[in-house]
Structure 1
Amino acid sequence: MTDLRRTDFGRIDLRREASDIIAELEALRAADAPTHGGRVLSYVYDSGVAELDELAGAAARLVQPVNGLDPTTFTSVAAMEAAVVGFARSVFGGDDDVVGSVTSGGTESCLLAVKSARDAWRAARLGTPRVPRIVAPVTVHAAFHKAAHYFGLELDLAPVDPATGVPALAEIEDRLGDDVALVVVSAPSYPFASLDPVADVAAMTSPRGIALHVDACIGGFALAFWPDRLPTWDFSVPGVTSLSADLHKYGYAPKGVSVLLTRGRDRQRHQYFATTGWPGYPVVNPTMTGSKPAGPLAAAWAIVEALGEPGFAELTGRAARATAALRSCVERIEGLRVVGSPVGPLLAVATDESLPVERRVDPHHWADAARASGWHLQLQPGLIQSDGSRLPHTTHLTVTPVTEAVVPELAAALDAAADAVRGVPPVDGAVVAAGLSAALPGGAEALEAAAVMLDSDSAAGLLRAAGLLGGDAASDGDGGTAGGAGALPDRMAPVLALVEALPGPLTERLLVELLARVVEPPRL
């Protein structure tokens, strides 16, 4: 009997042998930062349980041909999404009025939360010419900057306490008005791991009928099982309208899969796009994408089914113990301090400015020194807030369950890195920027003007002057860049100092050029 599920139409002549292709991919991967073992304290979320990786891979492979576009055709998608959303709703304190969707990641979840808020705001104010606002602390994730840009809202950022990363409630309340479509708070924030005062903000927004979104993308699936008692921050707070949380972070699923939960079906339907205005099939999309892979969803579903709440609690316990150990380690290092009172499995580290300069440790030099010994920490720039106060430049550490196994080795490396750079002054961004301005005819004035208009070749020239694009290896001699030739330098402290010193629009333009050049193919 013929197996109708798969038909073999015969062999095709391949341009390259599969084994050679896989060998090349393995060589490319060998140049990546390690995704397992706890040496990268950002971007990757290693459970330390090999069986979970194997299960996720097997589940994703099983649905590899499936198109998540249509769950009425591929009913496995509907079943898995319902199960994942149901699990998330349960652990985040939701009831039957809370519904949701699985998305491709935290950014998409945040974008959709903003779209829903904008459309609901507009529906209640038909014909108004006003531009709605999003109100949030300055520590809110950059995804909300993108959402405001994409969907035509104004982003009104409230300053936070530089010592703690927490916004003053008065700064939020003073910004509330009828033109506010959404207030966003974080649980916790990415830069400083501060838990915003969700219940207090809800007490201000709910009586005014203003929607409140909790961005729990990075830590939500950890905070839900955190061993310490926390202030209420999820749907157990009545005024919370929506919540985002990533399963590819502390849900330990592969990239990219997140959930967006919304209180109220009518509100959640604003998230959808639907049209019958073309001669093809009716299009109904709950998320930004049309066709989409089912693999990340299947992997997340399989991990949720395997772990259940007890498994998540156990893995979170490991991350919590590792976080406490690393925090104690940093607090013992002369010249450094932990910013504020971080909540969950992440923290930020700044210079202890109460000490004499010769005993201080610059967190960016510290991160560079740790990287030289094989540990990848994430550098974060300082920022001048709207009230004139300055948020310190910091180094960010994301802690995962596997970190518990490497804490002694990591702590020793962090101690040694601090000893190596103690007393070394921070990089002076103004000096770096002055050197960069010399690459432009007209010097500093031309550099300032470049923030307004900069073409691709000029931007690439500035990047090369800053050492952010390879020299001869990166250039084809005619302003072009070989694919993959753009490489960051070994030391990132000067780069972050440049980010702080240059005008924001210029920095952003240069970063766009850098990322674009890195993935350009070689010229023909």
Structure 2
Amino acid sequence: MSTDDLLRRLEQLRAHDLPTHGGRTLAYVYDSGLADADELGKHALAMYASTNGLDPTAFPSLLAMEKELVAFARPLFHGTADTVGTVTSGGTESILLAVQTARDAHPVAAPVMIVPTTIHAAFAKAAHYFGVERVAVDVDPVTRRADPVAMAAAMDTYGERVVLVAASAPSYAHGVVDPIEAIAAETSARGLRLHVDACIGGWVLPWAERLGHDVAPWDFRVPGVTSLSADLHKYAYTPKGVSLLLHATPGLRRPQFFASADWPGYTMLNATMQSTKSGGPLAAAWAVVHLIGDDGYLDLVRTTLDGTAALASGIAEQQHVRLVTRPDASLVTLETDGSCDVFTISDEMLARGWFVQPQMSFRDMPASLHLTVSAATAPAVPEFLTALAESVDAAVAAGPVAVDEGLREAAASIDPAALDDDAFDGLLALAGLGSGTGEVGVPTQMAPVNALLDVAPPALREALLIAFLDRLSR
């Protein structure tokens, strides 16, 4: 195929994706609305695409840019001269490394981490990968923030087995900052590590505080915070994927590093989970962060938080939907009054050109809609609220999706570990995700699928979606 043919094919493939610019995709992407930052990021990404972060002595430019990004971030998070940092591929890798580092720093037979139930699912992945038991403690049922007293009780219950405690700033599902000071007081008293997951808030909260918003201390100014993560490909608006993992001291970070000389090749030496890694995302992040700069981020955060406030106020004035809680940063979560369901609202919003993210029910928390506001979304909030009102009206007219009671009972009784491929094919077909013969596809209307998945216990839901992904990628 010619170059022109290939580029046309790429454009054809891209046409089916969600838009990454324009502020109408309220999950997965972050849009500054700054065309010059986007162009610079793409240019730097291409310029450094073939460089390799495996060996900093071979590509000292990458080491220099990494150190400069850490130097930019350190005062934002009230770090000291001892604070050190690492650039990773994203928030999940930062969290994985935080858990692995804590585990290796305190070797015990059956390590445990104490987290609130609202902590990001990447901690569950870390638990699975590294054999660290995840003890999830219920959050306050009204504020949805972590409960320091309950977390302290869990720390005492598991005692010497606890290698890490973690909290959110803010939580992804509800957009609220956990009481970091109170949790840190408990971890400090017990000599435990405390990681703050600020992947989605780290590049918002420092400027929010400067703008006069009420932001409780959450970073290294809090005694007892030993590490934190902040993604640059979120609200720093850099190309994906780049995150920062900072540790309060070099000694706290040291177990993160991996080296192996026990083979006849080069001595492997890694600061992250990756060995070979393109320098492109790092270079793009370095360029965009320095282009926008401190004053530029102040303006972007002001725009974003003004848009968030307008969105929250507009939702509070609408019928049949309500805020789950007041947002602490740029994430808004809403739920319905029972006259309709969030899954139908999500479909209706997509039909109107807006992508919003449905979240399944969890314990006593009903299903909800997650909205990530970026700077490019803020000017379109009035348009969004009009589309939301129309979508809610349509969802109320349709009524909540009804799940057959027999299916609900069956879902509660199925043991996913006992299912074979044929059984999964049948269940996927029943859920509207397959034909029953192994062929799967993404339905145009997701509400019936999501409603059925919502009544499935988490283990069955996980198994079904893994089966779906497996077949989708065959």
| Coarse TM-score class (shorter-chain normalised) | over 0.9
| TM-score computed with the length of structure 1 as normaliser | 0.86
Q: Structure 2 unaligned segments of length 5 or more: list them.
A: none
- Do structure 1's residue 199 and structure 2's residue 181 form an aligned pair? yes
Q: In the TM superposition, what is the alpha-carbon distance from 1:255 to its structure 2 partner?
A: 1.1
Q: Distance in 1 between matches of 2:341 and 2:454?
A: 15
8 Å Cα contact 1:433-1:502 kept in structure 2: no
Q: Cα offset for 1:465?
A: 2.5
* In the alignment, structure 1 residue 166 sits paired with structure 2 residue 145: yes
Question: Secondary structure at the residue paired with 2:56?
Answer: coil
Asked whether the 8 Å contact 1:377–1:395 carries over to 2, the reply is yes
Shift of the alpha carbon at 1:351? 1.8
Shift of 1:160: 1.4
Are residues 262 and 430 of structure 1, via their aligned partners in 2, closer, same or farther at CA, if it must alter by over 3 Å? farther
Partner of 2:162: 180
| 1:157 is the counterpart of 2:136 | yes
Specify which of 98, 106, 114 is matched with residue 113 of structure 1.
Answer: 98
In structure 2, distance between residues paired with 1:255 and 1:286: 19
Q: Which of 265, 280, 299 is residue 295 of structure 1 equivalent to?
A: 280
Task: Tell me, yes or no, if the aligned pair for 2:432 and 2:449 is still in contact at 8 Å.
Answer: no
| Aligned residue type for 1:416 | E
Equivalent residue, structure 1, for 2:35: 50
Shift of 1:101: 0.4
Q: Is structure 2 residue 333 aligned with structure 1 residue 348?
A: yes
Read off the aligned partner of 2:275 and give its amino acid letter: G
Distance 2:309 2:462 in 1: 35
CA displacement 1:382-409 (0-9 Å, x = unmatched): 111xxxxx01210000000001221221
1:457 deviates by 3.8
Q: Return the offset for 1:271.
A: 0.5
d(CA) in 1 for partners of 2:441, 2:236: 31
Matched AA of 1:248:
H
SS at match of 1:195: coil
Q: Deviations over 1:196-245 (max 9, x none)?
A: 00011001111210110000011211112113130000111111000001
Greater helix share, 1 or 2? 2
Say whether 1:416 aligns with 2:390.
yes
Amino acid of the structure 2 residue aligned with 1:503: P
Contact 1:362 1:424 in 2 (8 A): no
Local SS of the residue matching 2:166: strand
Which of 327, 333, 337 is 2:318 aligned to? 333
Residues 309-348 of structure 1 show CA distances to partners (whole Å, capped at 9, x for unaligned) of 1111111111111111111111011111111221111111
State yes or no: 1:513 paired with 2:467.
Answer: yes
Q: 1:404, 1:248 → 2: CA distance?
A: 18
Q: Is it true that 1:493 corresponds to 2:447 in the alignment? A: yes
| Matching residue of 1:383 | 362
Regions of 4+ moved over 6 Å = none
The number of aligned residues is 468
How far residue 95 of structure 1 moved from its aligned partner, in angstroms, is 0.9
Aligned mates of 2:438, 2:186 — CA distance in 1: 54
Point out the structure with max Rg over C-alpha: 1
Correspondence 1:451 to 2:416:
yes
AA partner of residue 196 (structure 1): D
Structure 1: distance between partners of 2:172 and 2:29: 14
| Structure 1 stretch displaced more, 258-267 or 419-428 | 419-428
Q: CA deviation at 1:168?
A: 2.2
Amino acid at match of 2:432: G
Cα distance, 1:278 vs. partner?
0.6
1:8 corresponding residue in structure 2: none
Residues 1:221 and 2:203 are matched in the alignment:
yes
Residue 453 of structure 1 aligns with an amino acid whose one-letter code is A
What's the % identity of the aligned pairs? 46
Please say if residues 312 and 326 of structure 2, whose CA atoms lie closer than 8 Å, have aligned partners that are also in contact.
Answer: no
Q: What is the CA distance between 1:365 and its match in structure 2?
A: 2.3
With 275-284 and 499-508 compared, the bigger mean Cα shift is at: 499-508
What is the match of residue 4 of structure 1? Answer: none
Q: Distance in 1 between matches of 2:321 and 2:51?
A: 50
Aligned twin of 1:21? 6
User: Distance between the aligned counterparts of 1:391 and 1:319, measured in 2?
Assistant: 27
**Counterpart residue identity of residue 493, structure 1:** A
Q: How far does residue 454 in structure 1 lie from its aligned partner after superposition?
A: 2.4
Change (3 A) 1:502 1:21: same
Deviation of the 1:167 alpha carbon: 2.4
Q: Which residue does the alignment assign to 1:374? A: 353
Structure 2: how far apart are the matches of 1:337 and 1:480? 40
Secondary structure at 1:407's aligned position in 2?
helix
Match of 1:83 among 41, 47, 68: 68
Aligned to 1:465: 430
1:171 and 1:68 map into 2 onto residues whose CA distance is 42
Partner of 1:12: none
Three-state SS of the structure 1 residue aligned to 2:369 is strand
Structure 1 residue aligned with 2:194, among 212, 216, 230?
Answer: 212
Amino acid at match of 1:119: D
In 2, distance between residues paired with 1:422 and 1:161? 30
CA RMSD for the aligned pairs? 1.7
AA aligned to 1:74 is F
Larger relative contact order (Cα-Cα within 8 Å, sequence gap ≥ 6):
2
5+ residue gaps, structure 1, are 1-15, 123-127, 385-389, 438-443
Contact kept? 1:366, 1:421, Cα under 8 Å: yes
C-alpha distance in 2, partners of 1:432/1:280? 60
* Aligned twin of 1:502: 456
Q: CA deviation at 1:466?
A: 1.7
Letter of the aligned partner of 1:462 in structure 2? L
**Shift of residue 432, structure 1, vs aligned partner:** 7.8
List per-residue Cα deviations over 1:402-433 (Å, max 9, x = no partner). Answer: 01221221111111111222365433445483
**C-alpha distance in 2, partners of 1:132/1:349?**
36
Distance 1:246 1:321 in 2: 21
CA contact (8 A) 2:127 2:133 kept: yes
* Alpha-carbon distance between aligned partners in 2 of 1:463 and 1:428, rounded to the nearest angstrom: 18
**Correspondence for 1:11:** none
User: Are 2:340 and 1:364 aligned?
Assistant: no
Question: TM-score by structure 2 length?
Answer: 0.95
